[in-house]
A and B are shown apart, each in its own frame.
Chain A
Amino acid sequence: MSCANIQVSETPLVLYALRRADDALILGHRLSEWCGHAPMLEEDMALSNIALDLIGQARELYTFAAKVEGRDNDEDKLAYLRDVRQYRNLLLVEQPNGDFAQTLVRQFFYSAFADLYWRAMMNSRDATLAAIAAKSEKESAYHLRHASEWIIRLGDGTEESHRRAQGAIDHLWAFTGEMFAADDSECALIDAGIAVDPGSLRGRWLTTITDVTREATLALPRNDWMQQGGRSGRHSEHLGQLLSELQSMQRTFPGLTW
């Protein structure tokens, strides 16, 4: 294994799996940054547990992508040897942890989507994606409940926690639209019953978000302008910094194992 970037032939199905794998890996990595730093022991364990679930989902999806691609890539090469522009994750998941409220709002937006998404993907015509979905769906249900409880606690907590939670919602809102977009390559998979139309999940996602934020005495932003780019490799500056840490061992000592 060298430390140079690999090339991936992104057929629609490979690209589709890579995008979901990248979402899970990057968000999992972000959460793992809290390990040892969370505000209390229980949260340290919770965030690390959720990170572990997400990284596990990423591994399954990368392995699937590599198998579909049918060249000599594998889960490790896909994770460690692609550069920023080759990453296909949502901009939402690469956003920095910020304070605890920002991490939980990011998690809440994503988990409310992932919960619906994986449940719908259990009916995928692709047997492996359906199997990955069946596992991920159960995990997402826990993640969503955890995040929802925190949104309520923070929003309906002190003046300070409310201010921070509201600030995080206002800041991250523009990154939520990308979850519901599908480009041409995905539309073909949706038509074939392999993928789910993410736009069809937006109504139910918004209901969950609205119900929880209302109980948390928080407000949703009115603006509809949404930032996009992650799915085609145009990322914020934060992803490069994250990858330089995530990939440093394999880039420095190619093929290292332990």
Chain B
Amino acid sequence: MVTMTDDDAALRQRAWEVAASVVDPEIPVLSIADLGVLRDVVLDGDHVEVAITPTYSGCPAMNMIALEIEVALERAGFHHPKVRTVLSPAWTTDWMTEDGRRKLRAYGIAPPQAASSRRALFGAQAVACPQCGSDKTELLSEFGSTSCKALWRCKACREPFDYFKCH
């Protein structure tokens, strides 16, 4: 049993920061910490294990993210890191940080509505255009360029945009 000392805490914090710096390959303005995908970093001696949770079951970005976490940790001097996938509790867009939502909007993707629920899935959605801010928008396709996005159109500025779906 390794006792957590101040050094360990600092080391764990550093490992967390390295892992948290990995970005979503499809949305490079969002880090996995912004997304809420990074769940835990465990330090056992000098061995690091990172727990991540998948967004969508079949999201192909997860393999890439796991690989990039390993590479980032190796580069930072944490050797033979392990990435573990945890399924429970299931990821939800509510875990996306406020900072993440702001970055997403600035990048041109409408952030998910807060407090997603089954009701939100079936209720009337009002998604503001990330370009001009208008709420006169309409859904074009529930399934967009990646698993997590839907395609919308703004009726005010006439620009199409991606919406990060509630999940």
In Å, the complex CA distance between A127 and B90 comes to: 12
User: What is the interface of chain B mostly: helix, strand, loop, or mixed?
Assistant: loop
A-contacting 9-mer, from B19-27, B29-37, B54-62, B104-112? B54-62
* Total chain A interface residues with beta-carbon distance under 8 A: 30
- Is B44 interfacial (CB-CB < 8 Å)? no
In chain B, what residue has the closest Cβ to A149?
Answer: B142
Tell me the smallest distance from the CB of B146 to a CB of chain A, in Å: 8
Is A139's beta carbon under 8 Å from chain B? yes
Assess whether A49 is in contact with B143, with CB atoms less than 8 Å apart.
yes
**Is B64's CB within 8 Å of the partner chain A?**
no
Interface size class of B (residues with CB under 8 A): 20 to 34
B89 on interface, CB distance cutoff 8 Å: yes
Number of A-B contacts (CB under 8 A): 78
Is B57 touching A60 in the complex (CB atoms < 8 A)? Answer: yes
Q: Which of A42, A53, A59 contacts B147 (CB 8 A)?
A: A53
Q: Is the CB of B167 within 8 A of A56?
A: no
Q: Which B residues touch A48, using CB under 8 A? A: 143
Q: Mark A110-154, 1 if CB is under 8 A from B, else 0.
A: 000000000000000001101110111011011001100000000
Q: Nearest chain B CB to A88's CB is how many angstroms away?
A: 20
- Is A54 a contact partner of B90 (Cβ separation < 8 A)? no
The interface residues of chain A lying within 8 Å CB-to-CB of B144 are 45, 49
Whether the Cβ atoms of A134 and B90 lie closer than 8 Å is: yes
- Least CB separation from A44: chain B residue: B143
Which 8 A-B pairs rank lowest in CB-CB distance, beginning with the nearest?
A56-B58, A56-B57, A131-B88, A131-B87, A134-B90, A52-B58, A46-B143, A42-B141
Residues in B lying within 8 Å of A, measured CB to CB = 54, 56-60, 87-91, 118, 121-122, 140-145, 147, 151, 165, 167
Further contacts, 18 of them, CB under 8 A, given A52-B60, A54-B58, A142-B121: A28-B58, A45-B145, A46-B142, A48-B143, A49-B143, A49-B144, A50-B143, A52-B56, A52-B58, A55-B58, A60-B57, A128-B88, A131-B87, A131-B90, A134-B88, A138-B167, A141-B122, A145-B142
